[in-house]
Amino acid sequence: MIEVLTSGVALGVHVPGLLLADRLRERGARAGVTVLERLLPAAKLATTAAMRTAFHRDFRVALVGQRVATNPFGAVPGDRLDELFAEWDERGVRRFVVLSGYWLPVLERYAGDADVVVCHVDSVASPSFKGDTGFGARVWLADAERVALPATIPVSREPQVPWADRAKSLLLHGGGWGMGTYRERVGELLGAGFELDVVAHEEADAEVVDPAVRYHLIDPAWHPWVDDGYPPFGRLRPGTPTTYARGVGHHASFDLMRTSAAAVSKPGGGTLLDSLWSATPLVLLEPFGAHEQRNSELWQRLGFGITVEAWRERGYALEVLAELHEALSGVARRVPDLSGMLLSGGA
């Protein structure tokens, strides 16, 4: 039994965790997912949900919040840990895959005989790994130091959409919490002649009324610590109730990304994974911290992305995006699959 340990405060690691569990099950393995926030008291969860809203509405608040963030492990009641450890023992968990460093103190306390594999989604250690003692084996999905992609988690087995079949449209998003400056770019990119798909997190995000701008909403009531599935996702039409659906085997927003000419986003680790598997280039916005800056630099060095400033200097040329797409095409399937590595003993 393999347990994938994620955190709901970073969907850029939670969604890859869901993907990994699905890929393991497809190979016949028993795999579960545990979200760290499910261990927290209700009051702490309410604070976390409020932070999500504040971080979405003001990126400056998010950047300050990241600098002062602490591991929520201290808020977990001791008896809740005892229950978790007993549950792991009962289910016969023998291997853990850790996608958030906040889990490491929990596993260091756990007295089981399980193997621990730490999977870094970002190209350098993200803030959740502050104070990391080096516990467990290590796997990187992206490596800024070596400018490499050592392993990957397949998002979808569907063929990548050829460039000729893609619309002249851009996907704008801010990761799982909708952070960053992507909404501020709507007018600029609309003026450059592109159709836009914009991921919203509140109905109030649908500010621009234009037939070339389509808004899509992640259900604001969805929280990964009370729901085992991918985020509910639907087309937002102001004044009309949103009908949500979930992707099968992957998150629904990926279906938009794989048909777009580019995604315009901050460079989170989950976004890099989506870019790789869709062969959709990234137009890179301001990063959320130093680790995302390294992600941005890596994607540019690999020829998979360009900053919005550099693309603007080149006249928002579609040919630039086509070159980046070509560099990405087929790369994903040449990178070792982490699900296979885990089951074959390669990780």
Give the pLDDT mean for 310-324: 98
In the chain, CATH 3.40.50.2000 sits at: 163-334
The string of pLDDT tens digits covering residues 188-222 is 999 999 999 999 887 877 778 899 999 999 998 88
Buried b (16+ CB within 10 A) or exposed e, 89-107: eeeebebbbbbbbbbbbbb
The structure tokens listed for 19 are 């993907």
Please state, in angstroms and as integers, the Cα–Cα distance from residue 115 to each residue in 57, 98, 139, 166, 345, following that order: 40, 11, 13, 43, 11
Give the pLDDT mean for 162-185: 86
Total residues found in the chain within this entry: 347
The string of pLDDT tens digits covering residues 104-139 is 988 988 866 779 999 999 999 998 888 787 888 999
Helix axes 11-26, 269-278, angle to 10 degrees: 50
The string of pLDDT tens digits covering residues 281-296 is 999 999 978 999 999 9
Give the strand order in the sheet containing 213-218.
Answer: 233-236, 213-218, 195-200, 169-172, 262-265, 282-284, 305-307
* Residue with more model confidence, 176 or 288: 288
- Report the DSSP beta bridge partners of residue 235: 216
* 114 Cβ contact list (under 8 Å, min separation 6): 88, 93, 94, 95, 96
Note the CATH architecture for domain 2-154+336-344: 3-Layer(aba) Sandwich (3.40)
Buried b (16+ CB within 10 A) or exposed e, 140-160: bbbbbeeeebbbbbbbbeeeb
Q: How far apart are CA 250 and CA 9, in angstroms?
A: 19
Q: How far apart are CA 296 and CA 272, in angstroms?
A: 9
pTM of the model: 0.91
Residue 168 has what DSSP assignment? S
Q: Which of 100, 148, 109 is nearest to 127 (CA)?
A: 100
If phi > 0 it is left, if psi is from -120 to 50 it is alpha, else beta; for residue 64 that is alpha
Q: How far apart are CA 8 and CA 15, in angstroms?
A: 9
Q: How far apart are CA 75 and CA 256, in angstroms?
A: 38
pLDDT given at position 45: 64
pLDDT given at position 72: 62
Secondary structure percentages of the chain, helix, strand, coil, to 5 = 40, 20, 40
Number of Cβ atoms within 10 Å of the Cβ of 243: 9
* Residue with more model confidence, 235 or 132: 235
**CA 243 to chain CA mean position, Å:** 23
Q: How far apart are CA 321 and CA 317, in angstroms?
A: 7
User: What CATH topology corresponds to 163-334?
Assistant: Rossmann fold (3.40.50)
Q: Which amino acid is at 137?
A: A
pLDDT, mean over the chain: 88
